[in-house]
Structure 1
Amino acid sequence: MSVEPGSFAQRLGLTAGDEILSVNGHPVPDELALKFHLAEEEVVLEVRKNGGSVKTVDVHLSPGRPLGVMVEDFRTLTCNNACMFCFVDQLPRGVRRSLRLKDDDYRLSFLHGNYITLTNVSDRELDRIIRQALSPLYVSVHATEPGLRTRILGRRRPDNLDHKIRKLVQGGIRLHTQIVLMPGVNDGQNLERTVSELYSDYPGVNSIAIVPVGLSEHGEPRQVCTPVTPAYCREVIAQVEPWQRKFRSERQRTFVYLADEFYLQGGVELPDAAHYDDFAQVEDGVGMVRRFLDDFEGGLKSRSVGKLPLDGTLVTGKLFRAVLAESVRLLNERFGFKLRVVASENLFLGRSITVAGLLAGRDIRDALVGGDPGDFVLFPQEALSRTEGVFIDDRTPEDIAAEIRRPVIPGGRTVHEFLALLFERLR
């Protein structure tokens, strides 16, 4: 661990390289456990000094006063499944290294909203989740029928999901769940059963996101899934809408939500904002477009009217192109901008991958070559790794900028950031 200069920990004699073994007799395997047990005012630390000796330190922590230590990142728990749709196994060579990590870690689910299967979580770890109130968690269910879930996850035997969900829910943990929908596999009556059984655990199971399976051109032989079509999207919407009306009538909450892709690909109008309640599943592509449209409308109202010189290109995926193009039309009309929208085809993963967040740097570059991008290029922020600053193919915005000789800028994670970036170009 490291110790912050001038911190309480330093005054207690803790130094870099020491290891906190326990707090009040409780083992602390990672930073989450350490923070949980340090919430008490009176604590006893068992510390292994850098030299190897073990000592006990009595600590009185005032409310809001941190100890001032930083522990090493915990070792990520990885996935032990072989899912028939696993996107990591569909990635080509040349992707950024972090994408090769198949994390399935309940701590990352709590901290960052990562989806987990719970297949590698023991009863002891379930007890820890409940004891430390690691809530909410995000769980990939796909199917509640044990045999079907086992087949989808590529396991030899059922993983007792029902027991785990019930234990967590009864322990006060909120769960947001996900179903990756595969035509002919877990849809139809199987989907109805899954939704019904998860609804029986409401409000502990607080929401379900149904997302269409994503298929690249690099899948393994075991990953034989039928692609989702516009007609199929409309069928799914027609099946799910009566359940949504029922749940809103009974619970005043939609509960089960369809990813935006179903509506966009199916050519069906998006629901209004109230349909998405608290937008709990927005990071899974549920309600993201509705939020963009509503925030964009509100953002335009806050901008003064006037004709302003702004010439640039906005790059997006094929799925979002029509939505963004209409918004850009309004910007051009109101402010006299000369903005254009370019849809980048995903040749790196495959043409069937149409979401903006999976665009490769080379595909963005190829979409711009041969045309006039204007003075700058904005691309979807979600296509860039938060930690590494690179696209899925390990290229950087600077790489593209050097090739097209224009600034290549991430477009922000919110509409407010997006509009701010545009108007800052005028300064």
Structure 2
Amino acid sequence: MAKIKYIYPTSPFYGKVKKNDDLISINDKKIVDVLDYMFFTETENERENIKIEVNRKGERLFFEEEVFEGDLRFEFENFLMSEQRSCKNKCVFCFIDQLPKGMRKTLYYKDDDFRLSLLYGNYVTLTNAEESDIDRIVSMRVSPLNISVHTTNPELRVKMMANPNASKIMEILNRFKQARINMRCQIVLCPGLNDGAELDRTMNDLKSLYPAVTSVSIVPVGLTKYREGLYPLTSFTKDKAKEAVEQINKFGDQCLTELGTRLFYVADELFQKAEISLPGYDYYEEFEQIENGVGMVISFAQEFMDVVRTLRNREAEINISLVTGVAATPLMKKCINLLKVKAPNMNCRIYTIKNDFFGHDVTVTGLTTGQDIINQLKDKPLGRFLLVPSAMLRDDSFLDDITIKDVEKALNVKIKVTNCSAEDLVDKILSSYSRKKRC
């Protein structure tokens, strides 16, 4: 039910529609959820009349007003306007299944809602999408969609997801292609399962869907130490990772020649596991998969260089520290050394936090816990303050529910949070002695 929580004073329906009214229809089209709302409020002209129907305590009311760019200026109690869909799979590589007990309940929730793919870029498997959902996506031309494919082999996909509905993936993707829906795909690569010849098959199948499929990221499976009773997966060794990188890039080179785009992109983490240098900036083309860890390192490094290039020299002393995960340490060292050219008296200690909580196979910064920071930085020199990237935090708390204040108290240091942009990192570092001298 699309229950209205708030009507902005700038809404053309302000003073008519009330809080707790249920939105029933727009221009005589029934509103089931947020997709309907977005689709039926889309207008061809800057200003158009829109008629709405609401239910107010059992009474049906109709209003019609001129609306600017289709924005009714309503807020709803439930942003999806219907129940959120949870994941019905039991994927062999699921990270949530590898969480220890006792963490906050929200971390154990698995979403697999295709509407969240459109709204927030979440990756979805489409295994819980009904035929009517596929019809709606096609008719509304919902685009782009981020889709977790993993393999196009029907039997293998069913095995990897423990869901018989997983077999229909190519049928669905072909329907989307015919409807000219843009798709970004993801493959979580698991040694011995969907790599090697199976990966070749998947890449060939997805290539056949170009240009509807605009990019495919290949990321290595992430394994924690909490896998008792789960499918016996193995981590990538250096040799296995190198083999996968070479296979993917060879296929990507062929696509670049034939299609004018690489189409298949290796995640930064897989390059690191293979101990292969990251490719240049041009490799990533439009950086479509950056939120999936593809090109994040190169993009940040380029942004950092651009910011530093604009700075004047700083002679004042700077004494601070920052924390990062294992995977991002080489990048942080490179960036801080670059900044030292402009600020030679800067002492910025880089502390690499090994992931004792989840296990040392987990190297990404975003999965660092508060207790690991406390345990590994106890009695270490930290300077005026400690920089912590926002990727480690959810509402000022780490994944283990330890708060920023808890860490500050345990380490007796002030914490500053960086928003993971190069500009903000430089600004936070230089603010330790003077904000007024920033260029």
TM-score (normalised: structure 2): 0.92
Residue 185 of structure 1: how far off its partner (Å): 0.5
Look up the equivalent residue of 1:312 and give its one-letter code. Answer: I
| Distance in 2 of aligned mates of 1:65 and 1:252 | 37
Q: Partner residue of 2:8?
A: 4
Equivalent residue of 1:362, what SS?
helix
Say whether the 8 Å CA contact 1:78–1:103 is kept in structure 2: yes
Q: Partner residue of 1:294?
A: 302
| Distance in 2 of aligned mates of 1:193 and 1:104 | 25
Q: Partner residue of 1:243?
A: 251
CA distances 1:46-70 after superposition (whole Å, capped 9, x unpaired): 2100x2212232x132433632321
Correspondence for 1:361 among 361, 370, 384 = 370
Say whether the 8 Å CA contact 1:94–1:394 is kept in structure 2: no
Correspondence for 1:383 among 370, 392, 396 = 392
Q: Partner residue of 1:190?
A: 198
CA RMSD of aligned residues (A): 1.7
Say whether the 8 Å CA contact 1:8–1:66 is kept in structure 2: no
Which aligned pairs between 1:137-148 and structure 2 lie closer than 5 A? 137-148=145-156
Q: Partner residue of 1:71?
A: 76
Equivalent residue of 1:21, what SS?
strand
Tell me how many residue pairs correspond in the alignment.
Answer: 422
- The answer on 1:370 being equivalent to 2:375 is no
Say whether the 8 Å CA contact 1:136–1:174 is kept in structure 2: yes
Say whether the 8 Å CA contact 2:252–2:262 is kept in structure 1: yes
Which aligned pairs between 1:227-376 and structure 2 lie closer than 5 A? 227-335=235-343, 336-376=345-385
Q: Partner residue of 2:427?
A: 420
Q: Partner residue of 1:155?
A: 163
Q: Partner residue of 1:17?
A: 20
Residue 239 of structure 1: how far off its partner (Å): 1.2
Residue 167 of structure 1: how far off its partner (Å): 1.2
Say whether the 8 Å CA contact 2:150–2:187 is kept in structure 1: yes
Look up the equivalent residue of 1:235 and give its one-letter code. Answer: E
Look up the equivalent residue of 2:42 and give its one-letter code. Answer: A
Which aligned pairs between 1:404-419 and structure 2 lie closer than 5 A? 404-419=411-426
Look up the equivalent residue of 1:207 and give its one-letter code. Answer: S
Residue 220 of structure 1: how far off its partner (Å): 4.4
Q: Name stretches of at least 5 consecutive residues in structure 1 with no aligned partner.
A: none
Cα 1:125/1:382, change in 2 over 3 Å: same
Look up the equivalent residue of 1:17 and give its one-letter code. Answer: N
Residue 230 of structure 1: how far off its partner (Å): 1.6
Which stretch shows the higher mean deviation, 365-374 or 65-74?
65-74
Residue 295 of structure 1: how far off its partner (Å): 1.4
Which aligned pairs between 1:19-98 and structure 2 lie closer than 5 A? 19-40=22-43, 41-49=48-56, 51-57=57-63, 59-64=64-69, 66-73=71-78, 74=80, 75-98=83-106
CA distances 1:309-357 after superposition (whole Å, capped 9, x unpaired): 2111111111221221222223234312000111101111111101101
Q: Name stretches of at least 5 consecutive residues in structure 2 with no aligned partner.
A: 435-439
Look up the equivalent residue of 2:60 and give its one-letter code. Answer: V
| Distance in 2 of aligned mates of 1:411 and 1:67 | 35
Look up the equivalent residue of 1:390 and give its one-letter code. Answer: S
Say whether the 8 Å CA contact 1:244–1:255 is kept in structure 2: yes
Say whether the 8 Å CA contact 1:142–1:180 is kept in structure 2: yes
- The answer on 1:109 being equivalent to 2:112 is no
Equivalent residue of 2:14, what SS?
helix
Say whether the 8 Å CA contact 1:265–1:319 is kept in structure 2: no
| Distance in 2 of aligned mates of 1:189 and 1:6 | 58
Query: Which consecutive aligned stretches of 4+ in structure 1 deviate over 4 angstroms post-superposition?
Result: none
| Distance in 1 of aligned mates of 2:415 and 2:135 | 48
CA distances 1:101-120 after superposition (whole Å, capped 9, x unpaired): 10001111111111100111
Q: Partner residue of 2:401?
A: 394
Q: Partner residue of 1:177?
A: 185
Say whether the 8 Å CA contact 1:94–1:393 is kept in structure 2: no
Look up the equivalent residue of 1:255 and give its one-letter code. Answer: L
| Distance in 2 of aligned mates of 1:161 and 1:46 | 38
| Distance in 2 of aligned mates of 1:108 and 1:181 | 23
Equivalent residue of 1:116, what SS?
coil
Cα 1:8/1:60, change in 2 over 3 Å: closer
Say whether the 8 Å CA contact 1:207–1:255 is kept in structure 2: yes
Say whether the 8 Å CA contact 2:23–2:53 is kept in structure 1: yes
Percent identical among aligned pairs is 31
Which stretch shows the higher mean deviation, 134-143 or 221-230?
221-230
